[in-house]
Structure 1
Amino acid sequence: MADGVEQATGQRTRFRWLFVLAILTGSFLLFLVQPMVARMALPRLGGAPAVWNSAMLVYQALLLGGYAYAHWLGRVPVRAQAGIHLAVLAVAAIWLPIGLTAMELPADAEPALWVPWLFGASIGPLFFAISAQAPLLQRWYSVASGGRDPYALYAASNIGSFGGLIAYPLIVEPALALRAQSWLWTIGYGLVFVLVAACATLLPRKAPEEPHVAHHSPAPDARRVLHWIVLAFVPSGLMLATTTFLTTDIVAMPMLWVLPLGLYLLSFSVAFREGETIPALLAKFTPIIVLLFGATLIAGHQKLAYFNALIGLVLLFVVAVSLHSCMYRLRPAPDRLTGFYLAMSVGGALGGVFSGLIAPVLCDWTYEYPLLILAAGALAPQTFLFPALARLWQGEGQILRIKILLATLLVAIFVWLGLANPGGVLGGMHEQIAFLAVAAIGLLATGLRVPWLVALAGALFLFGGYRAIDISLSGDRTRSYFGVYTVSDLPDERRLAHGTTLHGIQLKGARARIPTTYYVPGSGVGRAMLAAPALYGPAARIAVVGLGTGTLACYARPGQQWRFYEIDPAVIGLSSGAGKFSFVRQCAPQAAMVVGDARLRLAEAPPASIDLLALDAFSSDAVPMHLMTTEAFDSYAHALAPNGLLLVHISNRFLALSPVVAGAAAQGGWHAARRVYQPNASELLDEAAVSDWIALSRDPATLARLTDGDPRWETLRPRPGFVPWTDDYASVVPVMRAFHPSLADE
């Protein structure tokens, strides 16, 4: 009898690859659907980084639900458990093919609450069902193999997750339209169902009353469970905080939103493995990376944007591997596996709530980022770099306390020196020397947590934290669901920055009404605004998508009807009424403010109710793709008069957008001309900036009257082979300058 059982167990062990394949496929689908559904939501929600963070909150909550469900299934017999899970998968299939529910965002809705509801209602059951795969099938494998350690299979889960996440922007999105993507995911779901059913056949038969795995190991105490939760909380929160920080304060590069999550998932595969080599290396070098990279990132130097983005990702990966590796070393026996994963998912969900919901409400800047860096430093294991350094800290009791106090005082002195120089906190050798001194103290203290944490806090405060606190205390920064807005008040001008992009400058005094930056009279939009009275008479109807500082309002003339479309109420507060910028107040106080997504509001506008429409709605350098599709241009045509004029701003550091506009123009029957404007020396005095605008009209005579033989207007023609963006198909890969050097001058 015993020989028969061992033979059956060995037979099941040989089918380990089936469990690996089922887990990998499920995880691949789970994280393929995340960017897919976010892409489906673009026509309704836009492309703000916060939309991605809202989606992540939903995914983490559903993952928590799936892990809790897998943990609960441990109460029932193993064969019954398989039947229940297959039934759950079958019921969730009602939501196939995958897509968004037919709900529209109300104009007065709170996006931070409404967006998660939309995602949850659209994919909740499917995500819930598949999210239970990894812990559930690991537990099944342990049962089927006679108690083998199943934790190594979690690496397969995260490799599949990483593969799905990266495959979407690089392979799936460029190759398939959304409808085809949805059906591809549906086929994959069917494959997962078959693989899970096949794994179920390998489970041993037990008496109906016997649970699938009896608990032989002692239950973890509350302190151990809390430790698991905290170790999961920090990497999860740091992943979202890194996404927000990089895309807001460093560089809003397309596809950058996917990379932090991908590295976060990959960290599990590196951490959840046997051996002491990786933990030993991490204990030595994680404190150094956290100290040096964390302080460098908080400084946020824009000239090093790509370098900062790279070290931000490295910092996230190292912290995640370090803390997940610590969690793996504290794992329970396999019979407590689902409870371990449940605690881990609770920590992950709480980290997402902190970075995605709580911090944006409580903080006017991305303060969650340095706070989580400090928390990572407090949790990550660390050892002395060299034995000689350990001898510096030898001693107990009073002697050791004196050494720690001296290190703290040294940090405080150097921080004070860095802040006291006449050049201010932004510059001067005092700051650089002070930072190097604080970093040196931190490196010497690596291995002794308290003085090292003091040095880390000093470095973060000196190299960016002080500046952030000072701006917050001055009231010159506003944070909303759509980003962080910073107002800089200089002697002769006032500036508004949204993330890394300058969104407007208003000069002071007698020059307060002069259009600046991308909107000067010589720019494409400036020429169109000046031509509006001649093109449409004194009662021209003008609309602008994207308020910014309201600079364009100073082209308004008596008798004209002006309307601004703005999705973020915080921007309206800054640039209208008694806001910090007075363009609208001084030049077009009668202008109407329409709150909400411009594409939806323009679709609701009366036909032919606008003569000139200026589209300038980018958030930093992130592109709201839903405003650049052929369907979006149909909405603009609906609102514009037959001879109406559309101006599209395409200045962008990372994307060459002229092929996108040219493709939409060709599809929609538009005539188009492009004006790349380089300001002259006199205009630079009025803070003019290089700008790239495209003018479109369905009436060739109107476009001809605007361009009027000016050689700086060039006819825009479609790029051969470029597929126009639609709501069903759009990819930034073909227009990314980094991937296509030939687009550098586009």
Structure 2
Amino acid sequence: MAGVTPATAPGPSRALFVVTILAGSFLLFLVQPMVARMALPRLGGAPNVWNSAMLVYQALLLAGYFYAHRLSRMPLRRQATIHLSLLAVAALTLPITLAGLPPPRPGTEVVWVPALLALTIGPVFFLVSAQAPLMQRWFAADPRAGEPWALYAASNLGSFGGLIAYPLLVEPELSIHAQSWGWSIGYGVLLALIALAARARWSAADVIPAQAAEPLQPVPRRRIALWLALAAVPSGLMLSTTTHLTTDIFAMPLLWVIPLGLYLLSFVIAFADRRGAARVVSALAWAAVLGAGGMAMISQGSSGLVPVMLSVVLLFVICVALHARMYDLRPPAEQLTLFYLVMSAGGALGGVFTALVAPLVFDWVWEHPLLVLAATALLPAERLLDWRRMRGLQPEMVKLGLAALLGTAAFLVWLLLEANALAEPGWQRALCTAALVLIGLLLTPWRWLVTALLLAVMIAQGGDQTLRDTRDGVRSRSYFGVYTVRDHPSEGIRTLAHGTTLHGEQSLDPVMKRMPLSYYGPGSGAGIAFANASALYGRGARLGVVGLGTGSLACYHQRGERLTYFEIDPAVLRYSRDGTFTYIRDCAPDTQIVLGDARLELAKVAPGSFDVLAIDAFSSDAIPLHLMTSEAFGVYLRALSPRGVLLVHISNRYIDLEPVLAAEVRARGLAGAMREDVPPYGSDWTASSWVAIARDSDQLAALGQKAPAMAWRPLVAPAARRWNDDHASILPYIQWRNFLGHPQ
């Protein structure tokens, strides 16, 4: 060091660097769900919104790591001066507020969402993301400090803490405004910690970049390609798992952060100095992939807690195993920033594949099973049962044993296919699966055979139906999800499903094609209101529906009424325009359909435009959060006529939305009632829950008189707090018992 002897040099200051890295990573991953939650009123709750957000974060993380890599080539004092100066300039963009972009045109969401998030959070996220590799490099500047790799485990522990803190502590207790200011204060603390870290290494100015006695060998391209693959597969798998959770449960930070949190936690184990835990998980990964991974191609009938648990366990085990292998292939500490740069690039590649390429190329979430298969090809070489090396085992016996294993596996796969086709009891399928897992473990010395066996198990577990659906073209995929149109000749109906949730159906019988089915039968809340609209408001009644689906409510339309649908997804609109579902064409051909976010479009209509307005905008199994806030209800009530009725469809497996609506009704002094329709067993209709809201209780009474046998009941006790764009938490309303399973 220039002018400083080792005896007078400052100490390694390990605690300071650990705290700095923890603080930076905590803030970095606290801001991710915070900004996504902040953007919900403008972006809606589609799973791809979070995937788009993650893609932006990964791109900014890659840019930050590249910045750290280039900066680390300079003398430390110059690094510190540049980095601290840029951090101070970026502080001028705080507190965080959404960028003022105009609303997106339909079909441009895939570009508009990343642009909004990048402009909102870009500068501070970019600089904070650089602090983990940069602080590790500064830490290693002191020759007494030791290896810096364990600090990356600390970094991911801080990241995991930030993610968990948001849905459990920050979101339930603080408004978005308070969250933004709190994060800004944390940014100031981080700036001070980085300044202290720079001071602790200030005299090491001539140590970085380190001048090795011998020049470092360049990293082989094959090694870099392997790093990229080992980073890309877990990243892509994390996003595909997130898509499943947020499609079939709810678009909320509590579920957004589970896959990302496990992904980050995997680094804590994989990059720890003590390798025992990483070795154990890597060895168990084979069993997890063969067991849970075999369900990765199932496209229907997989609701409940068990498949969710299996999917997140599979994600965690794969991430630990692949990240541990990446750690074992790490370069010398002098090439630390290059290693992290390549790892970040791999993460971004996985994000691009899952969030951008897959929705455009695939009709279903094929990226999920493909990534599981790719993980099998990349798992570490540790094997639980390498029976080839047993004492006295001859090569001919190995070949004979291998043939026996393959023959048994083929027979079990056939049995599993038959069991699924005949809907045999679950224990029979479980036994076949367990036997196949054991065979797969015995085949691990032949990696390509294990991968082939896993593919066969995926197909036998239900992937054969998924493949047939793709062959038959029954599905379509858009930015907002995967839709399946299926004919059931035995029942005489055609259904529309979003994910695993039914969104409407129509009879295939020409005589019955005008009858509204599923949630919209004559006993449903919407069915009662729409069938009696002319009686309540005259022949010129004005009807509005948020959420097109199959267009079932159009067949309650009567002469003289004006009907308007609001739909955000062009893919859904095509089903009504191309004749897949003909409710609108047959019953209300003059219906106006407005394409775009309903909340934004309703804000543009004249006050009092609708006498009956139905909110039926499902995001798979849940109404998007941004359509349930107080601000959203302000838009609805403005669009509603003075004597109008607002109907909200709240059928949901996992979230009890009635107390939230009751709180809004109480706060605004409105009248509200619930209609729970439970049709007779075997009928063509589906049970549904509708809430009717009006300014005057007499109007609800008049609605009830039109169908006296169809009782409406008062709303339950209201929630303690209304939801609004600035503060909303679903934790108190989760119906945990339903996660144990729900019939389809």
Note whether the superposition's TM-score is higher than 0.5.
yes
Equivalent residue number for residue 646 of structure 1 = 646
Q: Is the 8 A contact 2:386 2:445 kept in 1?
A: no
Q: Is the 8 A contact 2:167 2:254 kept in 1?
A: yes
1:661 alignment partner AA = L
Equivalent residue number for residue 209 of structure 2 = 212
Change (3 A) 1:536 1:92: same
Q: Is the 8 A contact 1:547 1:572 kept in 2?
A: yes
Q: Is the 8 A contact 1:251 1:305 kept in 2?
A: no
Deviation, 1:133, is 0.7
For 1:394 and 1:300, the matched residues in 2 are separated by 43
Equivalent residue number for residue 613 of structure 2 = 613
Equivalent residue number for residue 482 of structure 1 = 480
Deviation, 1:247, is 3.5
SS at match of 2:577: coil
Equivalent residue number for residue 290 of structure 1 = 289
Mapped pair 1:532 → 2:533: yes
Deviation, 1:92, is 1.2
SS at match of 1:644: strand
Deviation, 1:463, is 1.4
Deviation, 1:660, is 1.1
For 1:447 and 1:283, the matched residues in 2 are separated by 15
1:176 alignment partner AA = L
For 2:522 and 2:8, the matched residues in 1 are separated by 82
Deviation, 1:281, is 2.0
Q: 1:238-317 residue pairs with structure 2 within 5 A?
A: 238-248=237-247, 255-299=254-298, 302=301, 305-317=304-316
2:187 alignment partner AA = Y
Q: Is the 8 A contact 2:168 2:254 kept in 1?
A: no
For 1:288 and 1:204, the matched residues in 2 are separated by 50
Q: Is the 8 A contact 2:658 2:716 kept in 1?
A: no
Q: What's the TM-score once normalised by structure 2's chain length? A: 0.93
2:376 alignment partner AA = G
Deviation, 1:645, is 1.0
CA displacement, residues 640-692 of structure 1 (integer Å, 9 cap, x when unaligned): 111111000111111111111112222333221111222234xx422x22211
Cα-Cα RMSD: 2.7
Change (3 A) 1:8 1:227: farther
Q: 1:616-627 residue pairs with structure 2 within 5 A?
A: 616-627=616-627
Q: What's the TM-score once normalised by structure 1's chain length? A: 0.93
Equivalent residue number for residue 689 of structure 1 = 686
Q: Which moved more, 1:437-446 or 1:536-545?
A: 437-446
Equivalent residue number for residue 559 of structure 1 = 560
Q: Is the 8 A contact 1:425 1:431 kept in 2?
A: no
Q: Is the 8 A contact 1:441 1:455 kept in 2?
A: no
Q: 1:388-403 residue pairs with structure 2 within 5 A?
A: 388=387, 390-391=389-390
Q: Is the 8 A contact 2:282 2:317 kept in 1?
A: no
Change (3 A) 1:539 1:251: closer
Q: 1:353-368 residue pairs with structure 2 within 5 A?
A: 353-368=352-367
Change (3 A) 1:379 1:101: same
Equivalent residue number for residue 327 of structure 2 = 328
SS at match of 1:365: coil
2:668 alignment partner AA = G
Change (3 A) 1:584 1:157: same
Equivalent residue number for residue 79 of structure 1 = 77
Deviation, 1:716, is 2.7
CA displacement, residues 50-99 of structure 1 (integer Å, 9 cap, x when unaligned): 10000000000000000000000022110110010001111211210012
For 1:26 and 1:236, the matched residues in 2 are separated by 21
Q: Is the 8 A contact 1:253 1:654 kept in 2?
A: no
Equivalent residue number for residue 499 of structure 1 = 499
Change (3 A) 1:660 1:648: same
Q: Is the 8 A contact 2:289 2:314 kept in 1?
A: yes
CA displacement, residues 244-291 of structure 1 (integer Å, 9 cap, x when unaligned): 134446887872221000000000001102344234323432111100
CA displacement, residues 449-474 of structure 1 (integer Å, 9 cap, x when unaligned): 12222211211122122211100111
Q: Is the 8 A contact 1:408 1:454 kept in 2?
A: no
Q: Is the 8 A contact 2:227 2:343 kept in 1?
A: yes
Q: How many residues align?
A: 732
SS at match of 1:152: helix
Q: Is the 8 A contact 1:250 1:309 kept in 2?
A: no
CA displacement, residues 15-38 of structure 1 (integer Å, 9 cap, x when unaligned): 211111111111111011111111
CA displacement, residues 160-185 of structure 1 (integer Å, 9 cap, x when unaligned): 10111111111000001110000000
Deviation, 1:391, is 3.9
Unaligned runs of 5+ in 2: none
Equivalent residue number for residue 60 of structure 1 = 58
Q: Is the 8 A contact 2:377 2:447 kept in 1?
A: yes
Change (3 A) 1:697 1:307: same
Q: Is the 8 A contact 2:420 2:429 kept in 1?
A: no
Deviation, 1:719, is 2.1
SS at match of 2:166: helix
Percent identity, aligned pairs only, is 48
Mapped pair 1:338 → 2:309: no
Q: Is the 8 A contact 2:296 2:458 kept in 1?
A: no
Q: 1:401-420 residue pairs with structure 2 within 5 A?
A: 411-412=409-410, 414-415=412-413, 419=417
Equivalent residue number for residue 197 of structure 2 = 199
Q: 1:223-238 residue pairs with structure 2 within 5 A?
A: 223-238=222-237
Equivalent residue number for residue 724 of structure 2 = 726
Deviation, 1:403, is 6.8
Equivalent residue number for residue 570 of structure 1 = 571
Deviation, 1:440, is 4.0
Deviation, 1:349, is 0.3
